[in-house]
Amino acid sequence: MSSRNKHIDKSEALALFSQGDESVLENLKDLHNIDVYREMVQRNFHLHLSKSFGLSKAAIQGTKWESLVNDFIQHGQPKSKLFWQMPGEFLEFASAKIEHWQADLMKFEWSQVQLYFAPDYNRKGTKPFSYHPSHIAELHDEWSILNFEYPVYKIKWEDLEQHKGNYFLLQFRNQNTFEIENIELNIFLKELMLNLSTQQFNLAQTLTETLTKFNTSISPQINEQYQNFIHLLTQKNIIVGLL
């Protein structure tokens, strides 16, 4: 028996064994049915992670996926009290151990789960949205911006290597259907969205702040992008009104 195992009691040994640590078997030699616990623990993790990462599991495939999950159960130390949040910890654990595009795919899937269950936004203002440069837009918070190295949300996996780059995706929960939707952003719109969401600047200041960041000034093309984006955010109810 190792020196570590000399200091653990039977319940600790059963927990470790259930997580996949076979070195504690000697501590458990007079206990029956210990495999039942290991099977229950392992099955819960495998089932739930397969549901949360259906695409990623298919992308990572077979034994690699199985061993990632087993490794996580044994060494990942998940702390989430809410079981549905555990896959977020698996994502952190697994990201460094898989291909970058696979990590992007996992991030894409997990963000959808998080947004799907995210608490509802409580409106601060009462006025409906209307455009004026001095107005401050109110956005709900059921969205996130994801940064990808590979555009896993639009390109077939086998072609991703040719598309390595810097991609931004606005992922949000539709306020009527509760489904998750995506809008691809360029880097300008990504900054614009972040500035809008601070809800510190009025619409004119938001645009100015964003232009300053890129060391540029307004042009007809930029103005068109800006107007279209504000319109889209309104149409999608991401802008919910005015503060």
Partner 1 sequence: MGISVGLGLRREITEALLHLENQKPAFLEVAPENWMEIGGYWGNLFHQISEKFELTAHGLSLSIGAKDELNIPFLKRLKSFLDEYSISLYSEHLAFSTMNNAHLYESLPVAFTDESVKHISTRVKQVQEILERKVILENVVYYTLIDQELSELDFYNAVASEADCEILLDFNNVFVNGKNFNYDPYEFISKIDTSKVSYLHVGGHQEQNDGLLLDAHNNPIKQEVLDLIRKTKHNFNADKLLFERDANLDDLNELLAEIKRIEKSLE
Shortest distance (Å) from residue 120 CB to partner 1: 3
**What is the Cα–Cα distance from 41 to 37, expressed in whole angstroms?**
6
Contact 223, 210 (CB under 8 A): no
Shortest distance (Å) from residue 115 CB to partner 1: 8
Shortest distance (Å) from residue 12 CB to partner 1: 6
Shortest distance (Å) from residue 195 CB to partner 1: 25
One-letter identity of residue 57 = K
Residues 6+ apart with CB under 8 A from 117: 84
Query: Is the Cβ of residue 26 or residue 224 nearer to partner 1 in the bound state?
Result: 26
Query: Is the Cβ of residue 18 or residue 102 nearer to partner 1 in the bound state?
Result: 18
Helix (H, G, I), strand (E, B) or coil at 56: helix
Query: Is the Cβ of residue 51 or residue 164 nearer to partner 1 in the bound state?
Result: 51
Residue identified by tokens 């977020």 is 88
Query: Is the Cβ of residue 75 or residue 127 nearer to partner 1 in the bound state?
Result: 75
Partners of 169 in the β-ladder: 146, 184
Residues that bind partner 1 (CB under 8 A): 9-12, 14-16, 18-19, 31-34, 36-37, 40-41, 44-45, 76-84, 86, 115-121, 142, 173, 178
Give the phi and the psi of residue 122 in degrees, each rounded to 5.
-100, 120
